[in-house]
Every structure is written in C-alpha cells, then in structure tokens.
Structure 1
C-alpha cells in the first residue's frame, strides 16, 4: 500500500468495506478477509495474493475440479450473513436467486428490497425464480416439510418484499414450470456474477438445514458452469410470476 501510495480509506472504498476493517488487516495478521475480497485487493494493489495473505492462500491451494469450491457449509444457516451481503454488493453484472422460496434473504439482510433497487440502478440484472405457491409441487412439499411456516407462505413473503422494489420494470420474477418444479425444489442456486451458492435440499429438511457449497468459476464446464446451466434451464422454461 505504501509503494502504491494507497491509503486504508482508498482501499476500503474500492473493496466496499469499512476503513477500520482494512486497518485491522494491517495490524492483525490473523484477520483474513473473504476470498473474493482478497482477490480484489491483490488486483487493486498489483501484487500476488500470497504476498498479502500467505497463510490463507497456502491453506486454500487446490488443484483439479475442486479448486472451484471456495467453502462448504453443512447447513445453509452456517454461512455468515456477511458472505451473502458481500456477494450481492460485489456483483456487477447479474444476480439470480433461484431458490424455491427465496424468502430468507429478506429476513437476514436488512431492507433488502432497497439493496435490490440499488443494484438495478447500477445496471445489474436481478432475477428471482420462485416456485408457484399454488402448484401441486408446492402443496406436496408442504406436506413433506409439515412446518407452520408453509412453503406457499414463504414464497408470498418473498413476493411481498419484491413488490416493494420501486423500479419493478427492471426486476425479473418468474415461477418455475410445473414439470421442472421437483428439480427446483430440490436444488437452490444463488448466482452473483462468477460466484454461486448452491444448496441441495435433504429429505424433509427446510432450506436453512440443508448443506451448501460456495463455488467460484475458474474453468469452462466446471462445477460452477454446471449448476449455472441448471438454473438457466429452469429459468428459460419458467413463466412470469403473477
């Protein structure tokens, strides 16, 4: 930073973090930022990532297909809220929420409808793929989960929050086709440019109890691309939400 004449506040603004956070990275070697932030910082400063955070890079060295796996979470709820916020904030081109209900993001991220509005204003494509709250698949899933907060209710919570976005014409919302609903309900894909959070749903468990992968695209036709293609196929056959 000294060689590049970059002050903590400058780097913080570029990365979208607080100045105090950058200062803690400098004074405390045990504090390591999220992988995406490390990459952005190294590119901004023009130095290899291992020069800035050698310990983190050394422990994260991977080869082969698994190098696209950034993190593994035994439960979706184990993924820090800050990870979701950071991925949304850093997305420059597209955001796709292809969970069956997607309601949780509005509960976990304060005023998320305003965040959506801001990303739309920045020119980011924002899409939500929902399950149809009135479909047979939704009713069947409700019987399987047997929880007070039903699947259809969770979908409508998401819809109510999406309705608060003022520039609705820039927001794309669709219901998955009934023939795809079973595939949709069993696998959630949340995409942020070249990062994705993929949640595979288990048996009767609701989304926050199911395991999740954080993927980052590094190869053509790798794990990221395969899950992204799955979500795009569902999206292409989906119908506009009512």
Structure 2
C-alpha cells in the first residue's frame, strides 16, 4: 500500500489537504472520495482545499510551470474524481485562490509538506516529513498556514462534472 493511502487509513482524528490539484492522490487512490466519506462517517474531520481553477494564482502557477491552463485542467479533473464526496456530511471540499508556497497533507500528527520550487511541478519538488512532538513548533506553523487558507476558502457546491 502506498504511503498516502496508509496515512489516510490510519487517521483517526483529522485529514487536511492543501493543494492546487493533488491529482496524484486521486490517480493513486481511485476510491479516494469513498475513503474520505468513510473517514467522515467515523468522526474524522476531513478538509480538502483545492485551488480555484479560475483564480489568478492558478493561472500564474500554470504560466510559471510552462503548462498554462494545465494546472486549472488538473484541478477540474481532481474535482471530478472527488464528486461523490462533495457535499457529503463531514467532508469539507473547498476552493482557495492563494499563492501556494507548500502543499500540506496532514493525517493526525503526521504532516507532509511539499515545498514548491519556482517553475517546477510539485512532483519535482521535495517533500518534508513533520511529526507533531511536544514543544515542537514546525507542525503548528504549517497548520496555522493551512487554517489561514481555509478561512478564506469557499465550499465546492453541487455537481462539478460537466457532460457535453
């Protein structure tokens, strides 16, 4: 089982994800929406923040990576994969329009931070493993950032699947 699915399965209290697209999560865990719903049904707080595909920040990131509309398209694909979880009780899927310096993946007291490198896709940037420890500040520093983005985000509502 891959690291991400293992951390998700082990989470008992909270799952927090802050990304632009995070497409690797839905690609690597095709049943991610069902897993998030199951976690929420069992009392786990689930918050997923995706980039607003129409925001200036996402457009800038696409231009910086040289893929232009590609980041926006990846976000829309992730939303499609997460469709079943949108609006599910206890699953909070929101859009943000912030400049993203790090993607954050929190599973209880384990946090993975993908430190973005200018002009490179997230997959080509290092990931830092941060464990919550008594007296430690780094974990809380990342989560403070997450909470600031969450406070300015908007919930995804209704169907995001577009049928032509």
TM-score range (shorter-chain normalised) is 0.7 to 0.9
Secondary structure of 1:168's counterpart equals: coil
Q: CA shift at 1:204, angstroms?
A: 1.0
* Structure showing greater Rg: 1
Q: Deviations over 1:94-150 (max 9, x none)?
A: 101111212210001232222112212211111111111001111111111123871
Per the alignment, in what secondary structure is the counterpart of residue 85 of structure 2? coil
User: CA 1:236–1:220 in 2, change beyond 3 Å: closer, same or farther?
Assistant: farther
TM-score normalised by structure 2 residue count: 0.87
Aligned to 1:61: none
Runs of 5+ consecutive residues of structure 2 not aligned to the other structure: 158-164
- TM-score (ref. length: structure 1): 0.60
Evaluate the alpha carbon distance shift between residue 220 and residue 175 of structure 1 in structure 2; reply closer, same or farther with a 3 A threshold. farther
Task: Look up the match of 2:20.
Answer: 100
Q: How many residues align?
A: 157
Gaps of 5+ in 1: 1-80
CA contact (8 A) 1:117 1:167 kept: no
Task: Compute the RMSD of aligned alpha carbons.
Answer: 1.9
Residue in structure 2 matched with residue 225 of structure 1 by the alignment: 140
- Tell whether the 8 Å contact from 2:40 to 2:89 is kept in structure 1 after alignment: no
Structure having the larger proportion of residues in helix: 1
Structure number with the bigger relative contact order (C-alpha 8 A, sep ≥ 6) is: 2
Aligned partners of 2:109 and 2:7: how far apart in 1?
Answer: 10
The equivalent position to 1:210 in structure 2, one of 107, 122, 125, is 125
Pair 166,226 (structure 1): closer, same or farther in 2 beyond 3 Å: closer
Q: After TM superposition, which residue ranges in structure 1, 4 or more long, deviate above 6 angstroms?
A: none
The 3-state SS of whatever aligns with 1:134 is coil
